[in-house]
């Protein structure tokens, strides 16, 4: 089992920055794909940024030049640095981890590949 706890959410003005953190514990070695999903108001939850165990990063197109995902060497902490925030970045951000059998680069955006989820942290971007 993998336990995930997010922190760092809050309110920020458009153009501002925020960094989310996810503390990960348990059987981390059973996962090869770890990252962040977002559920914006009125929308389905979708992948924002994910890292595979080999260090490769995958981003939602709308955040690619503004967000940075990182992990510490032990993969116990995964962070999402969010810059130039926009109102459409508002939502609940979830940390998630899963095992894709080595195909994180293919399945990183698919929620069904992630067996482990945090409770979420809310981000509000508004004037």
Residue among 120, 111, 123, 116 at smallest CA distance from 6: 120
User: Tens digit of pLDDT for each residue in 58-94?
Assistant: 999 999 999 999 999 888 999 999 999 999 999 999 9
Q: What is the per-residue pLDDT for 114?
A: 97
Tell me the CA distances in angstroms from 15 to 2, 21, 121, 127, one per residue in order.
34, 20, 20, 10
The token duo for 118 is: 């945090």
Q: Is the pLDDT of residue 36 over 90?
A: yes
Average pLDDT over residues 40-62: 96
The rounded Cα 25 to chain-centroid distance in angstroms is: 16
Q: What is the per-residue pLDDT for 73?
A: 86
């Amino acid at each position: 089992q993998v336990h995930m706890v997010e922190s760092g959410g809050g309110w920020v003005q458009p153009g501002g920055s925020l960094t989310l953190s996810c503390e990960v514990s348990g059987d981390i070695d059973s996962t090869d794909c770890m990252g962040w999903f977002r559920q914006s108001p009125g929308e389905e939850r979708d992948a924002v940024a994910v890292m595979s165990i080999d260090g490769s990063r995958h981003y939602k197109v709308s955040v690619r030049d503004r967000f940075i995902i990182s992990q510490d060497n032990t993969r116990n902490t995964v962070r999402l640095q969010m810059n130039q925030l926009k109102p459409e970045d508002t939502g609940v951000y979830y940390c998630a981890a899963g095992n894709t059998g080595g195909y994180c680069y293919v399945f990183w955006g698919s929620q069904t590949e992630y067996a482990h989820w945090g409770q979420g942290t809310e981000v509000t971007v508004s004037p």
